[in-house]
A = this chain, B = another copy of it.
């Protein structure tokens, strides 16, 4: 299960089913009917609760964002020094790719969607913004130098996010999470 299930109301079951479907078969290959069947619910219930397809998936994106932001902040504030925090971040990401790759697949699918749909673009921008701010705050802020080796903390945070995203998709492509050990090298940035 990608998300922990607190409530067992009908809307929650549908949201769970939707994220499950997308993350295992891909957004393009999933229909409203598939989701309804997965949720054990009749098709029209999806429109009843979420109006339309876009409305449904907007909610799924929000769930995904919450989970990412919560877990990553948790990983970051577990340590004290910038270097340890990067290590913790990388460790979280690698674990996630290993134990819950569906969560990353969800991110990739919706990011792809965001390229073409203004609605999802706004949502995904918020996610990346929040992640960037978090990395700046926890890793790069109280660093002795405002600029590390001549690069702004904004640039460095974007590079760290990009590294995780880019190695993540490679790991997915090869079904080989070992590949993400490449991420350990990102610590060099803080040497």
Contacts and interface: CB of A to CB of B under 8 A. Distances in A.
Interface residues of A, number: 46
A25 B116 contact: yes
Contact of A167 (B105, B124, B159): B159
Contacts of A28: 27-28, 116
A39 interface: no
A185 B159 contact: yes
A162 B159 contact: no
A162 B155 contact: no
A182 B158 contact: yes
A43 to B, nearest CB: 21
Contact of A151 (B25, B156, B184): B184
Contact of A173 (B29, B114, B149, B189): B114
Interface of A: 25-29, 105, 108-109, 111-112, 114-116, 121, 124-125, 128, 149, 151, 154-156, 158-159, 161-170, 172-174, 179, 181-186, 188-189
Given A149-B185, A162-B164, A163-B166, 19 more contacts: A25-B116, A26-B112, A26-B115, A105-B115, A114-B173, A121-B173, A149-B188, A158-B167, A158-B170, A158-B179, A158-B182, A159-B167, A159-B183, A159-B186, A161-B166, A162-B162, A162-B163, A188-B188, A188-B189
